[in-house]
Structure 1
Amino acid sequence: MTDNKESKWTTIHLSHGIDGLLRYKDLTDVCESDEFKTDKDIRNELLRRKAAGELYISVGECDNFDPKTGCLGHPSEAPNV
């Protein structure tokens, strides 16, 4: 992010690394999902995504998300804090 008045700002959404999440003992403590309720279900979904080559999952909604690199950024006129 830059504070140059002639430049635009870029908002980057948070993401979780799949490998990091898989280290948690109980994923129900850190992952909230309407579809996956148990630790086993969440873990299986993360393993499925990892096997498909995904490295990250989005925290919240992001319409410019790449599962291999995370949020690709959202240009804006001012910081989104």
Structure 2
Amino acid sequence: MVIRNDVREILHDYMHENKKAQVFITNTGIYGMRMFKDRVFVDDRLFEGHSERYAEDAAENYVMNYGEWGEQ
């Protein structure tokens, strides 16, 4: 989990049905995603070595139940 003080800025919010994902950047320049389900925090994922676009795609996949996030 990423400590809130490590998050420099929330860049994007993705929402669909009961899921929400926030794309953020840390103070060290790593992009990540914060996940919620039914308004409850689920997990943070960091994407070290990946772009903002990669984190955006992961957030969209999470809220839309695509790929590894299917029917969670």
Query: TM-score, normalised on structure 1?
Result: 0.29
Q: Relative contact order (alpha carbons < 8 A, sep ≥ 6): 1 or 2 greater?
A: 1
Query: TM-score, normalised on structure 2?
Result: 0.31
Counting strand residues as a fraction of each chain, which structure ranks higher?
A: 2
